[in-house]
Amino acid sequence: MTDSNKFHAALAVSNIKNHISITLKIGNVQYVTWAELFNIHARYHKVLHHIVPPEKGKEKVPKTDKEKELWSTLDVVVLQWIYAIISHDLLHTIHEPDAMTMEAGNRLRDIF
């Protein structure tokens, strides 16, 4: 079985709130803690590259259609994780149609 045919562990996370109990809000000062917990979770599930760009020269560009589809699916999963653990006010502030996870993460970082 090739890597692209394996089930990715990030797809098994049905409720991110079971892993990260902090809800990020505009008025609180928990961004650093929230971001660290989120990055740890993303690193554990091997999707950190959807939030933090890899070092130059270490990028893994999806080559096949299956790899591109998995990358796109994982990006949406991680974006859903973000949306699930931020306040409604923040969601309305950072939400953009067809946004990628890294863009949403950058908008959050810029706010705080």
Contact at 8 Å (CB) between 36 and 112?
no
State mean pLDDT over 31-52: 95
Q: Give the contacts of 87 (CB within 8 A, at least 6 positions apart).
A: 23, 24, 25, 26
User: How far is it, in rounded angstroms, from Cα 64 to Cα 102?
Assistant: 22
pLDDT beyond 50 at 1:
no
Share of the chain above pLDDT 90, in %: 79
- Taking all residues of the chain, what is their mean pLDDT, rounded to a whole number? 91
Tokens standing for residue 33: 């803690």
Kindly state the DSSP code that residue 83 receives in the 8-state scheme: H
Angle at 6 between CA 11 and CA 8, to 5 degrees: 20
